[in-house]
Structure 1
């Protein structure tokens, strides 16, 4: 929908802080500097390199227990990870992703290739001093009368020395992969305490489970990858517990060693063998004497270090609604906080092509903060987008023949083209010169994006016959 200012245009922030050095944060930093032209822009990243989920620290476990070492924040990535997005749709505007040195049968960039691309993109920003590594943000607190944000952080290059700063505007580019979702299944906490249940966030490959009897919960990307890897080393079949069928186009190879089973009703630790357990399924079946359960049920956004004043009084942590649509609440267009527009979120939605969505969203935010891209000037007006999105998701769920956990507020899904196109139109209206630079969304390119499912399936087939993962 079109937006117009109904009051005075906002004050342009001078000092802008971006939090998080993954893909969303890096492109947001570049766009705030080059397209926003603010007086001072920096990015803080708590780890010792950029890349976010794509930065797999080979020595992260070794360093975790070292005395006087900075805290470690491991990535959920794992050795052998290959993405499911082609280079064209991983390319930030003005910085094309190089064709990976892979075979034509496997055109998707690997973990290492994607990390190298992000490092190359960040290199000039690092040289310019715009990126501060090993800088952990402890809290972001809204100041009185929306006068900015108090940011408390620790510098782990100086032993964790703490400092407090004030910034006019803040971009949050973290929040999903820090917060794994654990099912509320009876007995699962007991298994976790016994070291028998693990989340996909900490998956590091199948070798530790050679000869084990295993159960995988979930059939998203992580669940499918873990089940496929375990199938080659497990004792007997790998059981994969599924609540809802996968999306029809979701790429996953059939495997006779993977047996799909019903959801788990409860887990029962064996009294005779403390390292074994049973899984009682909702259909009454029992999987007995299991050695491990791997949980691939995803993540939820929870940047709990951010405190906003939703109502008069002391700022409180961001609320995360418990209404079946996990999200950062009160965001206009999944980007701008409704209560205080100087708080932005890049990377809030889960998209088919997240790099390009982060690019277009952060460009829009930079222009909105400059007063060049319009948005409603009242809190109520900025909340309309969220209400309309919730109504859309509710209607889609009612019309579904087969339920799917992928139909939810934060997953753009079929809405991605409309969402990105509207942002792009606002940007080009303000800056026509960006029209030839920004990524495109139209029917033809959406069809190309959809074809990536088939391409990925063929790549998986090729890899399975060439002993690659």
Structure 2
């Protein structure tokens, strides 16, 4: 077990669910002199905070992060897997036939959770971390130099030093676009939109729509826009659907082959699509890309571990990192070469809220020298090496590996991963055994049942919409 000096000043960057629960755990379960959270927007909630600037698809006054959420959004995780330890998620406003919390429900929960920390001054809104730089060990100010932009003071910048930093920003600043011939031309013409900027089906009235992907975002967009589209919505799919992404079949959604090429019309107001099976679809108006996101670490610079005698800052991660991930993380939480940099929410799991709770509790106790971690960088890198090898082995055994079989997607490993963190925590603090979420066969069975429940909720909503349509009078 590594034993290091307990950080005195800890900064959390990001006021979404991961950052909020990390703040709570650092404050209540840690032994630090000062903990602070910065959120670059004017309210906490992350992707669950939707304001009028987001709805109108404009940037807010300072050009900061717009939420990818939209009015009418309903989640796909049940309330029991959303509540942070000691702060259960209330019964959602939805009906028994649709038990998943809405955007409004989730946003209200996060605001309630954050309220005490806003009042105490632990949360600082309108503060954006521009850069985070690792300092040499002889720096007396702190391990990390952070440049902050204060939007309440006209975007004025300042430099602060912190002993430890938690990165709790998600992937949503970095949408992934498919590398397809002609896509750039469609983007320039304003005919290609990433799912991040989808704001509801109203914008699709009377349009001929093409959707790429078949995960949650793509399925939602196809289902929601199909009643308003001019003709069927074409949904392009490369691989079979992932079991965790329930979707409804519809005569107004036509599944088609992967795209070979987009051809922008001379008018630049429409385009054709040439599919890999030779089919051509003509005169389409918009393509939505539900093709995911990639890790955002470009604002973080670390000392090059390969040059210990020549301190040189390099970016932590880049597009060249393969497979795509935040590199060099022990248990996908702690930076292996400097344990005072932590990440919460760097992985994809079925239950992100409660996973962030357990991960940030583990990090808190690790920094307090209560949860064990290897004492050397090579020891801390072993987790990454083992996982890379496991993913490589699994992909080699599959004829057509799913795109969700990657380093950062826990999938079937979620139970073992979370349970391992939880065991370390309870070993250090037995009293937390009663409040922390549990991953066992029973809870996994309930979690896996969410997909059937979500499908039934989608069917109910579709049938209810059909019954609500007025009957034509003779």
TM-score tier by shorter-chain length is over 0.9
Q: Which residue of 2 aligns with 1:317?
A: 315
Whole-Å Cα distance in 2 between the matches of residues 387 and 94 of structure 1?
35
Q: Which residue of 1 aligns with 2:387?
A: 389
Tell me how far 1:442 sits from its aligned partner: 0.7
Q: Which residue of 2 aligns with 1:158?
A: 153
Q: Per the alignment, do residues 62 and 28 of structure 1 end up closer, same or farther by CA in structure 2, a change over 3 Å counting?
A: same
Whole-Å Cα distance in 1 between the matches of residues 89 and 117 of structure 2?
17
Q: Which residue of 2 aligns with 1:106?
A: 98
Whole-Å Cα distance in 1 between the matches of residues 74 and 323 of structure 2?
29
Q: Per the alignment, do residues 321 and 190 of structure 1 end up closer, same or farther by CA in structure 2, a change over 3 Å counting?
A: closer
Partner SS, residue 341 of structure 1: coil
1:310 and 1:339 in contact (8 A); partners too: no
Q: Which residue of 1 aligns with 2:344?
A: 346
Whole-Å Cα distance in 1 between the matches of residues 197 and 400 of structure 2?
31
Match of 1:422 among 417, 420, 423: 420
Match of 2:118 among 126, 139, 162: 126
Tell me how far 1:324 sits from its aligned partner: 5.0
Tell me how far 1:158 sits from its aligned partner: 1.0
Partner SS, residue 145 of structure 1: coil
Moved more, 53-62 or 137-146: 53-62
Q: Which residue of 1 aligns with 2:44?
A: 50
Q: Which residue of 2 aligns with 1:223?
A: 218
Partner SS, residue 409 of structure 2: coil
Match of 2:437 among 436, 439, 452: 439
Tell me how far 1:15 sits from its aligned partner: 0.2
1:368 and 1:375 in contact (8 A); partners too: yes
2:217 and 2:290 in contact (8 A); partners too: yes
Partner SS, residue 248 of structure 1: coil
Q: Does residue 240 of structure 1 match 2:239?
A: no
Q: Does residue 358 of structure 1 match 2:356?
A: yes
Whole-Å Cα distance in 1 between the matches of residues 213 and 183 of structure 2?
15
Q: Per the alignment, do residues 84 and 35 of structure 1 end up closer, same or farther by CA in structure 2, a change over 3 Å counting?
A: same
What are the equivalent positions in structure 2 for 1:29-428 lying under 5 Å apart?
29-60=23-54, 64=58, 69-145=61-137, 147-271=142-266, 273-311=267-305, 312=307, 313-320=311-318, 322=320, 324-428=322-426
Residue-pair matches, total: 460
Match of 1:467 among 443, 465, 468: 465
Whole-Å Cα distance in 2 between the matches of residues 40 and 65 of structure 1?
33
Tell me how far 1:443 sits from its aligned partner: 1.1
Provide the alpha-carbon RMSD of the alignment.
1.6
Tell me how far 1:17 sits from its aligned partner: 0.1
Whole-Å Cα distance in 2 between the matches of residues 178 and 421 of structure 1?
30
For structure 1, list consecutive stretches of 5 or more residues without a partner in the other structure.
none
Whole-Å Cα distance in 1 between the matches of residues 59 and 135 of structure 2?
37
Whole-Å Cα distance in 2 between the matches of residues 393 and 175 of structure 1?
22
Q: Which residue of 1 aligns with 2:22?
A: 28
Q: Per the alignment, do residues 165 and 324 of structure 1 end up closer, same or farther by CA in structure 2, a change over 3 Å counting?
A: closer
TM norm structure 2: 0.94
Q: Per the alignment, do residues 198 and 458 of structure 1 end up closer, same or farther by CA in structure 2, a change over 3 Å counting?
A: same
